[in-house]
């Protein structure tokens, strides 16, 4: 495909008969031979290997770690100073109006910070960091691939090669050796399952992927199942469920804003959009991201408008939706007016001109199985 | 069996025509998770969307290949939409139609012609 980037695993995907599609400027596998449904179920039952090398890995460093942490706090409503060495935390870049510019992972690697940002937004994120992190150096890491191994068999499959991963807990990060290759491992992911994300030098990515795929427990997983897995787990897709028009409070991501950055916290505010976001943390937002369960069997996808029963004025919109293979039913998420966001609220969504009954539901739709 | 450019098949069964989608189409759609069928008794024109197939990826419309009346629909697909992937040429038929003008069928491809098209 012309003008598309390729990850270090491109040839492997093709050899594994992946169906390749353009995604965020990359040629990426959407599914392999067995198809999305099977890949999804296999990940939950055993383990799946995902190529997420299209995502951006960025190092942020300064004279001291603390200097880098405090500098980054000017761009995210997260207590970066509160991330201990060897841990990572979910974060958001916010805009002046309180919207979300991107979501990311922030890891404390001891001497500096390692950020993982979305593929489609990585160029703008890097520009944003470079322009606004006073006294820091911002270094895009372009010589490493990123693999995710997700599912209950992940620990056994990865610790066969890298024994140290077994001791890690959810959101721990560690620099580990694999036959002389330096791996940056975090126990995290985007599926609601226990698992790992592994940053590996590009030249060794294929060897690591093949070593993991040699395990009977592990099959390769494409973007299709990645999306249905994260949807069942209630996790946001940037650009669909959150974007510059949604605030962290509207998006039900208050948990990503620690006490230290809230009103009366030790480092209150000081991030873009703080006035609106701090106010919404106290008094709420007019709409909220919720789970939306179709009562029927038809999937209700992004863009479907939501209504009160029998009314023609929309009260919300579905932002992600599809079939949840582990639940055997369709699942969606979206935004509704705050007074309609209570669990169990009966509403309607419009699909192909027809109204379908839906019910507001808690997320995740399926309990997560992180190793805390 | 006759085939359309839209990857549907038509099989004459007495004075009715049975309609489904080809293996090639089912494979392209991916795992089918929901099928919405018309009501029996619906009068349709060639090109009208009569079936919605939802796969894990997207929703796709299936158009009526001929003019006529839908006289029977395959209710089994409501409970087991996966039949579309498992047996697209057999048990996963969508509708049986009474065709207004049987000569409409003459315009469709033979199996060999269809295979050439997707080759």
Does B110 fall in a domain?
no
Assess A301–B contact: CB distance below 8 Å, yes or no.
yes
Residue A108: φ, ψ to 5° = -95, 105
Average pLDDT, chain A: 97
CA torsion angle A346 A351 A353 A357 (round to 10):
-20
Does B18 fall in a domain?
yes
Peptide bond into A364 cis (omega under 30): yes
Look at residue B1 and give its three-state secondary structure: coil
Q: Which residues of A touch B58 (CB under 8 A)?
A: 301
**With 80 as the cut, is the pLDDT of residue A189 above it?**
yes
Contact A224 B30 (CB under 8 A): yes
β-pairing verdict for A26-31 and A137-140: unpaired
CB A64 within 8 Å of CB A158: no
Does B112 fall in a domain?
no
Look at residue A229 and give its three-state secondary structure: helix
Every domain of chain A and the residues it spans: 10-52+142-232, 286-361
DSSP A268-336: ---STTHHHHHHHHHH--SEEEEEEEESSSS---TT-EEE-TT--SEEEEEEEEEEETTTTEEEEEEEE
Q: What residues contact residue A210 under an 8 Å CB cut-off, 6+ apart?
A: A12
| Strand ranges across the sheet with A195-201 | A173-178, A181-186, A195-201, A144-150, A47-51, A218-221
Residues A313, A311: Cα–Cα separation, whole Å: 6
From the candidate CATH numbers 3.40.50.920, 3.40.50.300, 3.30.1360.120, 3.40.920.10, the one assigned to the domain spanning A10-52+142-232: 3.30.1360.120
Q: Beta partners for A50?
A: A148, A221
Containing H/E element for A121? none
Does B114 fall in a domain?
no
pLDDT bracket for residue A183 (50, 70, 90): very high
What's the pLDDT score for residue A134? 85
Assess A297–B contact: CB distance below 8 Å, yes or no.
yes
| Structural domain count of chain B | 1
**With 80 as the cut, is the pLDDT of residue A71 above it?**
yes
CB B80 within 8 Å of CB B111: no
Residues B36, B50: Cα–Cα separation, whole Å: 8
Range of the domain at B96: 2-101
Residues B107, B56: Cα–Cα separation, whole Å: 33
Residue range A64-93: mean pLDDT, rounded = 98
Does B65 fall in a domain?
yes
Q: Which residue has the tokens 């500096």?
A: A112
Residue B80 sits in a domain whose CATH number is: 2.40.50.100
Domain A286-361 class? mainly beta
What's the pLDDT score for residue A58? 98
Residues A288, A209: Cα–Cα separation, whole Å: 39
With CA atoms as reference, report the closest residue to B6 among B116, B109, B112.
Answer: B109
What's the pLDDT score for residue A61? 98
What's the pLDDT score for residue B58? 86
Q: In A143-158, which positions are buried (b, 16+ CB within 10 angstroms) versus exposed (e)?
A: ebbbbbbbbbbbbebb
Residue range A121-131: mean pLDDT, rounded = 98
Query: Which tokens sit at B75?
Result: 């209710």
CB A241 within 8 Å of CB A335: no
Assess A21–B contact: CB distance below 8 Å, yes or no.
no
Does B41 fall in a domain?
yes
Residues B85, B53: Cα–Cα separation, whole Å: 11
Q: Which residues of B touch A36 (CB under 8 A)?
A: 30-31, 56-57
Q: What pLDDT digit, counting tens, does each position of B40-99 carry?
A: 999 999 999 999 999 988 899 999 999 999 999 999 999 999 999 999 999 999 999 999
Name the residue of chain A whose CA is nearest to B81's CA: A297
User: Across the A/B interface, how many CB contacts are shorter than 8 Å?
Assistant: 41
A36, A297, A352 ranked by CB distance to B56: nearest: A36
**DSSP designation for A5:** B
Containing H/E element for A238? none
What's the pLDDT score for residue A3? 87
CB B108 within 8 Å of CB B10: yes
Does B74 fall in a domain?
yes
Does B117 fall in a domain?
no
Residues A126, A104: Cα–Cα separation, whole Å: 12
User: Does ipTM surpass 0.95 in this model?
Assistant: no
Residues A126, B61: Cα–Cα separation, whole Å: 42
A228, A298, A352 ranked by CB distance to B56: nearest: A228
Query: Which tokens sit at A92?
Result: 């958001």
Q: Which residues of B touch A325 (CB under 8 A)?
A: 56
Residue range A160-189: mean pLDDT, rounded = 98
What's the pLDDT score for residue A2? 74
Q: Which residues of A touch B52 (CB under 8 A)?
A: 298, 352
Residue range A338-346: mean pLDDT, rounded = 98
What's the pLDDT score for residue A165? 98
Q: What pLDDT digit, counting tens, does each position of A255-312 carry?
A: 999 999 999 999 999 999 999 999 999 999 999 999 999 999 999 999 999 999 999 9
Rg of chain B, C-alpha, whole Å: 13
Cα-based angle A234, A194, A149 (whole degrees, multiple of 5): 100
What's the pLDDT score for residue A44? 98
CB A96 within 8 Å of CB A113: no
């Amino acid at each position: 495909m012309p003008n598309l980037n390729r990850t270090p695993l491109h040839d492997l995907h093709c050899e594994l008969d992946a169906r390749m599609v353009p995604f965020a400027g990359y040629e990426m596998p959407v599914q392999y031979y067995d198809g999305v449904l099977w890949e999804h179920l296999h990940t939950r039952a055993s383990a799946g290997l995902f190529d997420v090398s299209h995502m951006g890995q960025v190092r942020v460093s300064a004279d001291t770690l603390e200097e880098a942490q405090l500098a980054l706090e000017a761009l995210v409503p997260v207590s970066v100073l509160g991330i201990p060495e060897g841990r990572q935390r979910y974060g958001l870049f916010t805009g002046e109006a309180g919207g979300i510019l991107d979501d990311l992972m922030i890891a404390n690697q001891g001497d500096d910070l390692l950020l993982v940002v979305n593929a489609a937004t990585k160029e703008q994120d890097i520009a944003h960091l470079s322009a606004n992190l006073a006294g820091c150096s911002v270094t895009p890491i372009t010589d490493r691939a990123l693999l995710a191994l997700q599912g209950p068999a992940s620990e056994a499959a990865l610790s066969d090669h890298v024994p140290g991963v077994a001791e890690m807990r959810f959101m721990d990060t560690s620099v580990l050796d694999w036959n002389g290759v330096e791996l940056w491992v975090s126990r995290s992911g985007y599926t609601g399952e226990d698992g790992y994300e592994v940053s590996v030098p590009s030249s060794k990515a294929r060897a690591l992927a093949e070593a993991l795929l040699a395990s009977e427990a592990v099959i390769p997983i494409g973007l299709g199942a990645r999306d249905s897995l994260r949807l069942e787990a209630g996790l946001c897709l940037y650009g669909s469920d959150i974007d510059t028009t949604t605030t962290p409070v509207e998006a039900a991501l208050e948990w990503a804003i620690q006490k230290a950055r809230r009103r009366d916290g030790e480092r209150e505010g000081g991030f873009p959009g703080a006035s609106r976001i701090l106010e919404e943390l106290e008094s709420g937002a007019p709409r909220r991201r919720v789970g939306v369960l179709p009562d029927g069997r038809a999937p209700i996808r992004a863009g479907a408008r939501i209504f009160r029963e029998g009314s023609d004025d929309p009260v919300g919109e579905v932002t992600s939706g599809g079939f949840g293979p582990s639940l055997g039913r369709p699942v969606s998420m979206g935004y509704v007016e705050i007074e309609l966001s209570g669990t169990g609220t009966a509403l309607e969504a419009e699909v192909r001109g027809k109204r379908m009954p839906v019910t507001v539901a808690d997320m995740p739709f399926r309990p997560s199985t992180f190793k805390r | 069996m006759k085939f359309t450019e839209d990857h549907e098949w038509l099989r004459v069964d007495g004075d009715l025509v049975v309609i489904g989608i080809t293996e090639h189409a089912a494979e392209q759609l991916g795992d089918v998770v929901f099928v919405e069928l018309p009501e029996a008794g619906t009068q349709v024109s060639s090109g009208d969307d009569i079936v919605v197939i939802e796969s894990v990826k997207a929703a796709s419309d299936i158009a009526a290949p001929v003019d006529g009346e839908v006289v029977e629909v395959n209710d089994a697909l409501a409970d087991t939409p996966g039949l579309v992937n498992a047996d697209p040429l057999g048990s996963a038929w969508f509708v049986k139609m009474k065709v207004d003008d049987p000569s409409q069928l003459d315009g469709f491809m033979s199996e060999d012609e269809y295979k050439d098209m997707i080759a």
